[in-house]
């Protein structure tokens, strides 16, 4: 990442109320450089231009700070990023909160080779798992165990809820990262939320710097344990969403 890009990253993060340390800026720059290199071999992202990647990958991944509580920020939170792809939002969030105990999951192993490499290069420890969420969520040591599940661009909300809520302990929450205009999607998800043990969704809208557009953070508290049936077997949540 160029020095101008690093300045841009600091300024853009500032719009979210974040003051990045030199070390955090270095870590983001390293991840960006590695992402561009690896993207020549592995399809990690369509967004590789520096300015665009800074806002759409790094700053966008930071946006949950707008709704995280002081306690969530400061604790060794158990966090799971489902469908992390090239590591977003988990890697930027771990750059902010390296004391979190994170699990990063994706069903595509090649992307995770990058994620492992990137984390190792910047000296952050996290668990990286090549699994489908539908299978992982039925493992006893994974189910109802996380304080925070997070997902960006994973699926339509009713599907996303089935793939993520089973991982969250009662008292924890989901943050789903979406584009603008999510009211219809949230309305269509009310049956799934109810069936899976979620509370009323709270949507926070925000605007990314550089006129890149609006984003929505949908927070769903986990109120009750998810019935053992969910998630249904791999492929079913997508083929027959809970709507
Ligand atoms: N969160 C990343 C990637 C989004 S693309 C980002 O915002 O940049 C969606 C990712 O979810 C893909 O990498 C895909 O492989 C993964 N994915 C889709 N369905 C999944 C499932 N059922 N279990 C695990 N990963 C899944």
pLDDT tens sequence across 81-128: 999 999 999 999 999 999 999 999 999 999 999 999 999 999 999 999
Determine whether 86 is exposed, middle or buried from the number of CB atoms within 10 Å of its CB (0-12, 13-18, 19+).
buried
Task: Find out whether 104 and 112 touch, Cβ atoms under 8 Å.
Answer: yes
Average pLDDT over the chain reads 97
What per-residue confidence (pLDDT) applies to 139?
98
Query: Which residue minimizes the CA distance to atom 6 of ligand 1?
Result: 88
Whether 141 maps to a domain, the answer reads yes
Provide the percentage of residues in the chain whose pLDDT is more than 70.
Answer: 100
| Range 47-76 average pLDDT | 97
Q: How confident is the model at residue 144 (pLDDT cuts 50, 70, 90)?
A: very high
What per-residue confidence (pLDDT) applies to 223?
98
Helix (H, G, I), strand (E, B) or coil at 185: helix
| Distance from Cα 83 to the centre of ligand 1, integer Å | 3
Query: Which residue minimizes the CA distance to atom 9 of ligand 1?
Result: 154
| Distance from Cα 161 to the centre of ligand 1, integer Å | 14
Whether 79 maps to a domain, the answer reads yes
Per-residue pLDDT tens over the stretch 158-194: 999 999 999 999 999 999 999 998 999 999 999 999 9
Q: Which residues of 154-180 are buried (b: 16+ CB within 10 A; e: fewer)?
A: bbbbbbbbbbbbbbbbeebbbbbbbee
Whether 225 maps to a domain, the answer reads yes
Atom number in ligand 1 closest to CA 111:
13
- How far apart, in whole angstroms, are the C-alpha atoms of residue 138 and residue 160? 16
What per-residue confidence (pLDDT) applies to 203?
98
Whether 216 maps to a domain, the answer reads yes
Whether 87 maps to a domain, the answer reads yes
Provide the percentage of residues in the chain whose pLDDT is more than 90.
Answer: 98
CA 24 from centre of chain: 18
Whether 172 maps to a domain, the answer reads yes
CATH number at residue 82: 3.40.50.150
Strand partners, 4: none
Q: What is the dihedral of CA 127, 130, 135, 139, to 10 degrees?
A: -30
| Distance from Cα 23 to the centre of ligand 1, integer Å | 28
Q: Which of 131, 142, 154 to mutate to test the pocket of ligand 1 (most atoms within 8 A of CB)?
A: 154
| Distance from Cα 121 to the centre of ligand 1, integer Å | 22
| Range 32-40 average pLDDT | 97
Q: How many domains is the chain built from?
A: 1
Whether 229 maps to a domain, the answer reads yes
| Domain residue limits at 149 | 64-239
What per-residue confidence (pLDDT) applies to 70?
97
Atom number in ligand 1 closest to CA 45:
8
What per-residue confidence (pLDDT) applies to 166?
98
Is-above-0.85 flag for pTM?
yes
Ligand 1 cavity residues, CB under 6 Å: 83-86, 88, 105-108, 111, 132-134, 152-154, 163
Whether 23 maps to a domain, the answer reads no
| Distance from Cα 68 to the centre of ligand 1, integer Å | 23
């Amino acid at each position: 990442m160029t020095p101008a890009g690093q300045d841009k990253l600091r300024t853009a993060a500032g719009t979210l109320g974040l003051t990045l340390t030199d070390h955090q800026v270095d870590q983001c720059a390293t991840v960006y450089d590695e992402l561009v290199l690896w993207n020549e071999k592995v399809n990690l992202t369509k967004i590789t231009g520096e300015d665009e990647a800074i806002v759409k990958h790094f700053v966008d991944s930071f946006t949950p700070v707008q709704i995280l509580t002081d306690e969530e920020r400061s604790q060794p939170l158990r966090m799971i990023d489902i469908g992390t792809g090239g590591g977003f939002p988990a890697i930027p969030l771990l750059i902010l909160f390296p004391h979190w105990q994170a699990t990063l999951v994706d069903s595509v192993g090649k992307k995770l080779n990058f994620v492992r490499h990137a984390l190792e290069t910047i000296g952050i420890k996290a668990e990286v798992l090549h699994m489908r969420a539908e299978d992982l969520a039925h493992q006893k040591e994974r189910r109802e165990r996380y304080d925070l599940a997070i997902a960006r661009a994973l699926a339509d909300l009713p599907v996303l809820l089935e793939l993520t809520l089973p991982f969250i302990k009662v008292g924890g929450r989901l943050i789903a990262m979406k584009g603008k205009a999510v009211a219809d999607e949230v309305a269509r998800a009310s049956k799934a939320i109810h069936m899976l043990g979620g509370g009323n969704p709270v949507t926070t809208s925000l605007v990314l710097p550089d006129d890149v557009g609006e984003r929505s953070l949908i927070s769903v508290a986990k109120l009750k344990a998810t019935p053992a049936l969910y998630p249904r077997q791999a492929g079913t949540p997508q083929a027959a969403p809970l709507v």
